[in-house]
Amino acid sequence: MSRAPQQPRDPLGWCVALALGFWLLCLPYLTVVTKPYFDEVHYLPAARELLVLGEFVNREHPLLGKELIALGMALFGDNPWGWRIMPTLFGALALFAAMRAMWFATLSRFATLAYGALLATGFHLFVHARIAMLDIFYLSFLCIAAWQFAAAIRQPEQGRWRLALTGIALGCAMASKWNALPIAPLFGLAFLVARIFAGRRRLLLSRRGAPVPGTTLVEAALWLGLVPLAIYAATFGPAWFFAVHPITEGLVFHHQFMLSLQEQVLQPHPYQSTWHDWVLNHRSIWYLYEPVDGVQRGIMLIGNPLTMLLGLPALAWCLWHGLARRNWAALAVVVIYAVSLGLWVIAMKPVQFYYHYALPSMALLAALALTCDALWQGGSRRIALVPIIGSVALFAWFYPILSAAPLEGPNSFAVWTWLESWR
């Protein structure tokens, strides 16, 4: 008798455990810095004004991220817990959603859990999950969109509501920070290209063929095009009711104003960097380095020194594997990396910072997870585990300088600043 094919087991429980463990790891020293630090000085005042609908400030950014920070302040008070609790929750959500996206894209337990470990210990997600900035929110919503889109393809019987959730998440991502803008159209473009290559005669109205059988191209345009725009516009609702500087001339005019603010020439900043610095992990940002309550503390943003470099050849492998072997998951992470980094290669923003590499770094780590999975499936299991174990070990070593833990003294930074450009 022939046996039924072995079905891969969904590591849902492990995904939940990793996300919960990551959230708990974010909590120590979360509130030890009792005053706003780094870009919190911009977003916390904006969140306070949202709570009372006073003055519309920080108008160069969309509202949703600041609305979520304000929600935390409304629930837990205008204090460090209220400021930073929502970023920690969305950091854990981003990790969980990213793992679920990897699972539905690959049906590989190893790739899924490897990605979770690499992402949790990759430094970017951890640092941004502990500070009241906008980055963690757009990253989380993009991860949710990727999860739901991959699940719609894998389970087309659930395609309609999963594509709807994809569109909602994309709208929320764009409404959190404009960094999501170049990625948002990729979902609809992927659907269009897949349907064209499926060779359907009635391209617009056919329900057959990849990527989601049962869904027409017209319906997909609704979920992946119109819904995100509607959600994005809806998040600006409070802006019409501010007492000072409300939106009075319409969203189009306001977005022209936002764009002008984004493109204004800023003064040179000691922490500014360029995209090739980010790719080589060459330039750090110190979010904090000062005595707090008489104890030296620091928070440095840099990528994991091991995985940020190992991810580069992994991207090359994914590109080859995606094109030669038609591995669409591998090709997708290369496209996401190229598009999200390419934005900053051509952007008109004159002063740029390493935190803009957060999204490309997530795609980079996905490429590394897929490469490790290929080694694992090919029998080279010890080699496949080396980047994961190394990433966890380096995260443990850098934890004090990522988390504002107590340091020995003013010169403690030298322990972790391996390069002069990290100082």
State the SS3 of the chain. CCCCCCCCCCCHHHHHHHHHHHHHHHCCCCCCCCCCCCCHHHHHHHHHHHHHCCECCCCCCCCHHHHHHHHHHHHHCCCHHHHHHHHHHHHHHHHHHHHHHHHHHHCCHHHHHHHHHHHHCCCHHHHHCCCCCCHHHHHHHHHHHHHHHHHHHHCHHHHHHHHHHHHHHHHHHHHHCHHHCCCHHHHHHHHHHHHHHCCCCCCCCCCCCCCCCCCCHHHHHHHHHHHHHHHHHHCCHHHHCCCECCCCCCHHHHHHHHHHHHCCCCCCCCCCCCHHHHHCCCCCEEEEEEEECCEEEEEEECCCCCHHHHHHHHHHHHHHHHHHCCCHHHHHHHHHHHHHHHHHHHCCCCCCCHHHHHHHHHHHHHHHHHHHHHHHHCCCHHHHHHHHHHHHHHHHHHHHHHHCCCCCCCCHHHHCCCCHHHC
CA 79 vs. chain centroid, Å, equals 25
Kindly compute the dihedral angle of the four CA atoms of residues 286, 290, 293, 298, in this order, to the nearest 10 degrees: 30
| The pair of three-digit structure tokens given for residue 294, joined into one six-digit string | 């008489």
Nearest to 25 by CA among 402, 409, 422: 402
Burial class of residue 418 in the structure, from the number of CB atoms within 10 Å of its CB (0-12 exposed, 13-18 middle, 19+ buried): exposed
**pLDDT, position 293:** 85
Q: What are phi and psi for residue 295, nearest 5 degrees?
A: -120, 135
Instruction: Give pTM, 2 decimals.
Output: 0.95
**pLDDT, position 266:** 67
**pLDDT, position 5:** 59
Print pLDDT tens along the chain (423 aa): 466 556 789 999 999 999 999 999 999 999 999 999 999 999 999 999 999 999 999 999 999 999 999 999 999 999 999 999 999 999 999 999 999 999 999 999 999 999 999 999 999 999 999 999 999 999 999 999 999 999 999 999 999 999 999 999 999 999 999 999 999 999 999 999 999 988 767 888 888 888 999 999 999 999 999 999 999 999 999 999 999 999 998 999 999 999 888 877 567 777 788 899 999 999 999 999 999 988 999 999 999 999 999 999 999 999 999 999 989 999 999 999 999 999 889 876 777 889 999 999 999 999 999 999 999 999 999 999 999 999 999 999 999 999 999 999 999 999 999 998 898
**pLDDT, position 209:** 83
**Is the Cβ–Cβ distance between 272 and 351 less than 8 Å?**
yes
Nearest to 117 by CA among 421, 408, 418, 384: 384
**pLDDT, position 4:** 56
**pLDDT, position 206:** 85
**Is the Cβ–Cβ distance between 317 and 367 less than 8 Å?**
yes
Q: What are phi and psi for residue 291, nearest 5 degrees?
A: -70, 135
Cα 423 to Cα 417: distance, rounded to the nearest angstrom? 6
**pLDDT, position 3:** 61
Domain boundaries, the chain: 12-264+273-422
Distant-in-sequence, close-in-space partners of 275: CB < 8 Å, separation ≥ 6: 341, 344, 345, 352, 357
**pLDDT, position 198:** 81
| The pair of three-digit structure tokens given for residue 421, joined into one six-digit string | 């450009």
**pLDDT, position 204:** 86
